Structure formats: structure tokens, C-alpha cells
């Protein structure tokens, strides 16, 4: 009978199938890659030679491999490493020379299995990991192979129309079109950016990240994270924005797409500017220019030049700002983003106003007005009126300037742009105080007061909403961390179970193994189990402990506070919460740096830990704020306990060079009351007491009412 060809590998190195004729039946011998088992399977005469073989990698991708002769064999998944050997190097079945030859072949095969097993055992004992073919592939450099969706480009000039078209465009997508879904999410993020709806941009950026991660396009994954990072930074969540941009830069690689690298650096520059770190913002923008040539990336270069010019003007370098804006002005005719062109023209007008160049200010105002006419944008009309009024003010034509300021106010008021309206009203008040249009001065001052009140109220409401949303995000992050830790524990347990099964199979096949080999395998298994338990405990400790100060984390304090509150309610014992906040901590960070600020936090945590009772629970609640749970304490003693915490902080003295840092702390204390519905209400009372301590002069303890 003719010799059968060797079976291809099944996704693991060294895994092969040998087909041999034996009377009227075939016997199929499968040798696993780790040599841990023999498996015989009989096929009826005339049956199709077919075997289904699944590896770990293929199982994760949902892919099955079949014998090449099977007519429904699927193609290899593109993300799955191909470990098959060339056809000429595969093991061929020896011809049949009789029963003795067959027995010899079987003995040789078993010897090979024994050698493979011993090699796997030696690799495991020496800590050798999985084969290179199964290791996770490195992140490739991003390639700009995904053209932008037409709606994303249209969003630059017609953002609201694009937002109205998006639901229909999503319905028109094919089922499973992740690339199209990611591009539409990026178009939505761009439209939200143009209309300055930052919450919308964050939501769309998060959707784009989810959809892009389900594709193989690194270009889309990086762009989605850039869009999300911009939205987060505009909402003031700079830590999350920095993490998202760092992940985008990691996926981009060292030699990634220049356009994306420039976009990442632009985002870093904007975040640094909003944080007041102007020098770092200037450096990031300057680095981005090297990745944004004017010939191919006009819009990106314009944004970087705008940032650099604004910072140069803020730093008192008008000549440098003028040079940068001149280069930007040359690129303006090439840009397809009207809003970006208007922003650059505004920077040119500001720089010219600082030098008293009224002609340039007026020219820029007229160009902004032309863009507003083309886009039918009322906000740009208001900015045009305001800029031209500033030019008239520089020429001394104050009456005409007041009239144009009033037109700008009307335009901004129609759009409820309170910040812009307040700026124009303030300019009118200054001119009216100087003697121009005095009759309307009381009305202008009244309107300015109303606008300031409305702006303050809006900012408070936005801050409250943003705080609640950040709190929800923090809770979801903590839940996600716990779920990841649980999944990691389950994975380690599964690995331990797989190792155990492999060792048991090896022991069953190799009956002649000595008792010493069995003892070594058992010790290895125990060592793995111990390591996994230790890693599980370390993960639990990491979740419940603040990594900087080594005190309890906010999540732990919240859970412990709820439990202590319920116990106090049930038993009637006293319970109090003290919220400690380091005074003027931002000044320490700004003056001495964040490293010294971290040392102050550690010293404060250590000092308070020294005066806490064994039953007290100390944790870092956020930033420079700590919380202490005082269980079983009477209300009259809670104030004394808080005073001990304050004195412990006041006794700290850190040396930084020749300077000495003596931090102080304000403490708010709240004792459990009958009208407290839950622990969160008690914590809010303590927080209010803390704010009263701040208002009364800091470095003091205030007991909540």
C-alpha cells in the first residue's frame, strides 16, 4: 500500500501526525508538542484522512485547522503565527518492511516522546517560558492606510449637519464593520470639537477607541486615543488624558506615522498649556514641528505654530511670536479648516494689538468676518466685531469702538457665549469709564455683574457635574481593576490545572519513571501554586493600598466606612470621620517640585499613622486629602483625636537643601448623627467642616454641626 504524506503541524512546534498502513485499517499516531501523551485513533477503511487540531492560539482566535485534503479547510488567521515546517522538511512515513519494522518504528517514536518530555520538564524547571512562536507579536508601526471618512472632513465646516447625518450613516454600515464604526466615531469627535462640546468629544472618542481596538489598524487605534485624550484634557481630566496619550504613543512606536506623532505632541502641548506649564508646552509644540512638514501637514503645522506663538507672547517674546505667526499666515491659504484659520488670525490680531499695530488688527478682524460670512457663523462675526473695535480703540476712535463692541456683545448674547460677552462688556465699561457713552455705563455695569454671576454659576454646576462623573469613572476603574485581578487569578489557576494534568499524563505514560522524578514534579507543582497564591495576595494588597503613602486606598476607605457605619447603627457605638487636607500643598508642588510633594505626603501619612489608635483606619482619599475612620469613639473625644492628627502634621519639618518645609493641615470632623442616612452623608458633613476650617484660616480643626 502506498505511503501516506505526513500530517501538517497543528499550530505547535513539533506536533505532527504519522500515517501507517496496518492490514485493512489505518492507525493514527498523534504526538503532542510537549510529549505528554500518545493518542491512537482508528479510521475505517476508505474514510477521508482528516484531523481537527486546535492549539491555544487558534482557540483564542476561534480558528480550526484541518488536514489539507479536506475540502472545507479555512485559511490561516492573519494574526496567528505560522509555525508549520516546509513540506520538504516534514517527516515521511517509512515503507512497510513487516511487523518487526513496525515495532521498531513504534519504539523510536516512544523514545522521541520521552526525549521531548524530559526536555519540556527541564525547560519548566529552569523557568523557560512559552515558545517564541506563541509569544505576543510586537506592536507594529502605524501606517496611514485608513483614509478619513468624508463626514469627518465635512465636520470642519458643517459640524451640526454632520451630527445629524451620523445616525443614518451608522445604520447603513454592514454588520461587523468595525473600521467603518471607528471612522464614524472619529467624525463625531471632530464635529464635537468644532462646536466645543467636550463631553460629546469624550463620549465619541471612547466609542472610537472601543471600535478601533476590535480592528487590526494601528492608525485608527492611535487616532481614536488622540481624540479621546483631547476631550479628557478639555474637561480637566489631565491624568486620564496623559494615560490615553501615552498608550497612543506606545502603539505608534518609535518610527510611526509623522502625522500621528505630531498630533500626539500637539495634544501634550495643549495639556501642558492648560496646566500652566508653558515651557513644556512650547517644547512639545517645537518637537511636533519636526514631524509636520508644511507640504503635507499644513493644518497640523498651523496648530503647532499657533501654540508656540501664543506661548511666546505670554512669555514676553513679541518678536518671536510675530515671526511664528508670519509663517502661519503664509500657510493659511492651504488649510481646509476655517475654524483653525480664524484661530490663527486671532493670534495675529492679539500680537499686533500688543505692539499697537492698529492696521494689522483691523485687517485680521475683516478676514475673520469674511470667514464668518462664508460659514454663516455668528460667533466668528462677534469676534470680527470685537477685533475691529480693538483696532478703533488703538486709533482713538472710542465712540465707534463702543458701537462695534456693542455689536459683538449682541452676537455673543445670541449664542449664550457668556465668557465672550463678558469680555466685550468689560471692554465697553473701560471705555465708558474713560468718558465715552457715559449714559449707558450703569446698564453695562449691571450686565457685566449679571454675566459674572451667570458664569460663576455655570462653572459651579459644571464642576459639580464633572466631579460626579469623575467619581463614577473612578469607581468603574476600581471595579475593572478588581475584575482584572480576579480574571488573572482564574488564569493562573487554569495554568496550574493544565500543568498538573500534563504532569499526570507524563507519569501515566512513563510508568518506569523513578520516584525521584515524581517527587520533583510534585515539588514543582507546589512551587507554582505557592507563587500563584502569593501573586493573588499581592494583587489584593495593591488594590486596597495607596502606592505612594502605603496607607489604605480610597476604595478601601469607602468600603470600610460603609461597614463601620452599619456596625455603629446596629450597636449604638460612637463613630466619627476626620477628613485631613494639607494646607497650601499646591504651593509646595510648584515651588519645590512633585518629588518633594510626594515626600511631604509620605511624611504626613507616617505622622498621622503614629497617632492613630489600633482601631482607627487611615487612608488617602485623593490628592493631598486623607480620611480617618474613628470607630467606638464618643463625640466629645472625636475632636481631641482630630487635634492629635493636626498636631502630628504640624510637627513635621522636611529639609530641602537650605530650605525647611513645615506643612500644616486643616481637619474636618463629623460624628454619626440620627439623621445621617449613610456613610456618604457623614463624609459630606466632614468635608463641609473641612472647608469651614479652610475659610477660618487653615491649620485648625472644625467639628461638623
Q: Which residues of the chain have pLDDT under 50?
A: 1-99, 101-102, 105, 115-145
| pLDDT at residue 219 in the model | 86
Measured CA to CA in angstroms, residue 514 lies from 36, 511, 519, 525 at distances of: 17, 8, 9, 17
Domain holding 559, by residue range, is: 554-703
Same domain, 54 and 96: yes
Q: What stretch of H or E contains 671?
A: strand 665-671
Asked if 243 and 262 sit in the same domain, the reply is no
- Amino acid 110: pLDDT: 55
Nearest Cα residue to 182 out of 153, 222, 155, 209: 209
Spatial separation of the C-alpha atoms in residues 324 and 549, rounded to whole Å = 45
Q: Which residues contact residue 443 at a Cβ distance below 8 angstroms, ignoring those fewer than 6 apart?
A: none
Distance CA 14, CA 25 (A): 26
Answer yes or no: is 200 within a domain: yes
| CA distance linking residue 392 with residue 329, whole number of Å | 23
Cell of 590: 510648584
Separation CA 544–CA 617 (nearest Å): 12
> Among candidates 360, 373, 441, 432, which has minimal Cα distance to 401?
432
Task: Say what the pLDDT of residue 59 is.
Answer: 41
Residue 248 and residue 264 in one domain = no
Say which residue the cell 499581592 belongs to.
538
Q: To which H or E segment does residue 641 belong?
A: helix 635-650
- The answer to whether position 215 is within a domain reads yes
Both 158 and 223 in one domain: the answer is yes
Question: Which of 502, 492, 500, 514 has its CA nearest to residue 34?
Answer: 502
199 and 264: one domain?
no
pLDDT reported for residue 31: 37
Residues 120 and 160 in one domain: no
The answer to whether residue 418 is domain-embedded is: no
Q: What is the CATH number of the domain that holds 637?
A: 3.30.70.270
Residue 238 C-alpha cell reads as 489631565
**Does 669 lie in the same domain as 568?**
yes
> E-assigned strands of 545-658?
575-582, 617-622, 625-631, 654-656
- The residue among 503, 518, 542 that closes a domain is 542
Task: Answer yes or no: do 21 and 118 share one domain.
Answer: yes
Residue tagged 518530555 (cell numbers): 117
Which triple of cell numbers denotes residue 505?
499524563
Q: Are residues 211 and 318 in the same domain?
A: no
The predicted structure's pLDDT at residue 459: 75
Asked which of 252, 270, 300 is the last residue of a domain, the reply is 252
Q: What single string gives the DSSP state of each residue in 255-320?
A: T--HHHHHHHHHHHHHHHHHTT-HHHHHHHHHHHHTT--TTT-HHHHHHHHHHHHHHHHHTT-HHH
For residue 280, tell me if it sits in a domain.
Answer: yes
What secondary structure does DSSP assign to 506-575, as a single string?
A: HHHH-TT--HHHHHHHHHHHHHHHHHHHHHHHHHHHHHHB-TTT-SB-HHHHHHHHHHHHHHHHHH---E
Last residue of a domain, one of 522, 542, 562: 542
Q: What is the CATH number of the domain that holds 232?
A: 1.25.40
Say yes or no: 33 and 62 in one domain. Answer: yes
Q: What is the pLDDT of residue 669?
A: 95
Residue 617's pLDDT is what? 93
Is residue 134 in some structural domain?
no
CATH of the domain at 272: 1.25.40.10
The model scores a pTM over 0.75: no
Are 161 and 237 found together in one domain? yes
In a domain, 437, yes or no: no
User: Could you read off the pLDDT of 306-349 as tens digits, one per residue?
Assistant: 888 888 888 888 888 888 888 888 888 888 778 788 888 888 88
Dist. CA 417–CA 411, nearest whole Å: 9
Residue 463 belongs to a domain? no
Write the CA distances from 394 to 341, 385, 390, 438, 440, integer angstroms: 24, 14, 6, 20, 22
In a domain, 462, yes or no: no
What percentage of the chain's residues is helix, strand, coil (to nearest 5)?
65, 10, 30
- Total domains in the chain come to 5
Which among 344, 349, 414 is positioned nearest to 378, based on CA atoms? 414
- pLDDT score recorded for residue 56: 41
Whether residues 597 and 669 share a domain: the answer is: yes
Amino acid at each position: 500500500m502506498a505511503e501516506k504524506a505526513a500530517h501538517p503541524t497543528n499550530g505547535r512546534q513539533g506536533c505532527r501526525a504519522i500515517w501507517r498502513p496496518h492490514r485493512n485499517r489505518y492507525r493514527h499516531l498523534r504526538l503532542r508538542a510537549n510529549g505528554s501523551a500518545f493518542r491512537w485513533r482508528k479510521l475505517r477503511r476508505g474514510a477521508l484522512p482528516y484531523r481537527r487540531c486546535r492549539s491555544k492560539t487558534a482557540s483564542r482566535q476561534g480558528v480550526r485547522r484541518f488536514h489539507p485534503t479536506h475540502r472545507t479547510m479555512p485559511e490561516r488567521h492573519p494574526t496567528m503565527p505560522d509555525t508549520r515546517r516546509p513540506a520538504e522538511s516534514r517527516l515521511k512515513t517509512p515503507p512497510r518492511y513487516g511487523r518487526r519494522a513496525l515495532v521498531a518504528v513504534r519504539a523510536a517514536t516512544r523514545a522521541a516522546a520521552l526525549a521531548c518530555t524530559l526536555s519540556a520538564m527541564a525547560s519548566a524547571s529552569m523557568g523557560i517560558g512559552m515558545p517564541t512562536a506563541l509569544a505576543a507579536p510586537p506592536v507594529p508601526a502605524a501606517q496611514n492606510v485608513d483614509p478619513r471618512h468624508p463626514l469627518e472632513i465635512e465636520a470642519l465646516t458643517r459640524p451640526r449637519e454632520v451630527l445629524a447625518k451620523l445616525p443614518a450613516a451608522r445604520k447603513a454600515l454592514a454588520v461587523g464593520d468595525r473600521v467603518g464604526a471607528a471612522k464614524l466615531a472619529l467624525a463625531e469627535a471632530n464635529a464635537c470639537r468644532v462646536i466645543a462640546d467636550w463631553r460629546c468629544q469624550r463620549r465619541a472618542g471612547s466609542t472610537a477607541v472601543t471600535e478601533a481596538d476590535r480592528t487590526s489598524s494601528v492608525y485608527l487605534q492611535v487616532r481614536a486615543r488622540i481624540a479621546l485624550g483631547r476631550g479628557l484634557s478639555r474637561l480637566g481630566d489631565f491624568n486620564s488624558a496623559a494615560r490615553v496619550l501615552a498608550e497612543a504613543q506606545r502603539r505608534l512606536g518609535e518610527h510611526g506615522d509623522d502625522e500621528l506623532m505630531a498630533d500626539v505632541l500637539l495634544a501634550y502641548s495643549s495639556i501642558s498649556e492648560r496646566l500652566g506649564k508653558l515651557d513644556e508646552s512650547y517644547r512639545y509644540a517645537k518637537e511636533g514641528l519636526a514631524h509636520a512638514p508644511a507640504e503635507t501637514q499644513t493644518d497640523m503645522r498651523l496648530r503647532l505654530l499657533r501654540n508656540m506663538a501664543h506661548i511666546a507672547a505670554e512669555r514676553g517674546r513679541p518678536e518671536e511670536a510675530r515671526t511664528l505667526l508670519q509663517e502661519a499666515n503664509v500657510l493659511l491659504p492651504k488649510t481646509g479648516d476655517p475654524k483653525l484659520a480664524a484661530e490663527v488670525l486671532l493670534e495675529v490680531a492679539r500680537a499686533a494689538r500688543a505692539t499697537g499695530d492698529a492696521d494689522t488688527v483691523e485687517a485680521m478682524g475683516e478676514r475673520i468676518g469674511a470667514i464668518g460670512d462664508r460659514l454663516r457663523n455668528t460667533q466668528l462675526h462677534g469676534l470680527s466685531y470685537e477685533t475691529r473695535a480693538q483696532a478703533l480703540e488703538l486709533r482713538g476712535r472710542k465712540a465707534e469702538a463702543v458701537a462695534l463692541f456693542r455689536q459683538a456683545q449682541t452676537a455673543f448674547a445670541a449664542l449664550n457665549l457668556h465668557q465672550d460677552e463678558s469680555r466685550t462688556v468689560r471692554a465697553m465699561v473701560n471705555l465708558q469709564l474713560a468718558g465715552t457713552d457715559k449714559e449707558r455705563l450703569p446698564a453695562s455695569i449691571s450686565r457685566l455683574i449679571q454675566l459674572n454671576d451667570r458664569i460663576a454659576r455655570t462653572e459651579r454646576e459644571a464642576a459639580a457635574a464633572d466631579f460626579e462623573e469623575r467619581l463614577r469613572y473612578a469607581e468603574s476603574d476600581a471595579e475593572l481593576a478588581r475584575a482584572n485581578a480576579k480574571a488573572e487569578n482564574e488564569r493562573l489557576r487554569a495554568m496550574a490545572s493544565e500543568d498538573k494534568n500534563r504532569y499526570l499524563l507524563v507519569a501515566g505514560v512513563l510508568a518506569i519513571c523513578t520516584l525521584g522524578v515524581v517527587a520533583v514534579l510534585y515539588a514543582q507543582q507546589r512551587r507554582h501554586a505557592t507563587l500563584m497564591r502569593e501573586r493573588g495576595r499581592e494583587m489584593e494588597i495593591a488594590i486596597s493600598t495607596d502606592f505612594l503613602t502605603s496607607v489604605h486606598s480610597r476604595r478601601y476607605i469607602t468600603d470600610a466606612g460603609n461597614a463601620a457605619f452599619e456596625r455603629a447603627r446596629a450597636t449604638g457605638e460612637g463613630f466619627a470621620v476626620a477628613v485631613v487636607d494639607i494646607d497650601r500643598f499646591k504651593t509646595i508642588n510648584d515651588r519645590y517640585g512633585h518629588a518633594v510633594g510626594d515626600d511631604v505626603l509620605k511624611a504626613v501619612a507616617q505622622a498621622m499613622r503614629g497617632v492613630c489608635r489600633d482601631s482607627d483606619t487611615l487612608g488617602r482619599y485623593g490628592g493631598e486629602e486623607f480620611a480617618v475612620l474613628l470607630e467606638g469613639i464618643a463625640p466629645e473625644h472625636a475632636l481631641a483625636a482630630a487635634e492629635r492628627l493636626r498636631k502630628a502634621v504640624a510637627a513635621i519639618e522636611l529639609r530641602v537643601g537650605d530650605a525647611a518645609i513645615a506643612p500644616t493641615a486643616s481637619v474636618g470632623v463629623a460624628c454619626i448623627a440620627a439623621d445621617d442616612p449613610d456613610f456618604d452623608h457623614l463624609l459630606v458633613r466632614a468635608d463641609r467642616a473641612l472647608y469651614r476650617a479652610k475659610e477660618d484660616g487653615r491649620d485648625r480643626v472644625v467639628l461638623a454641626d
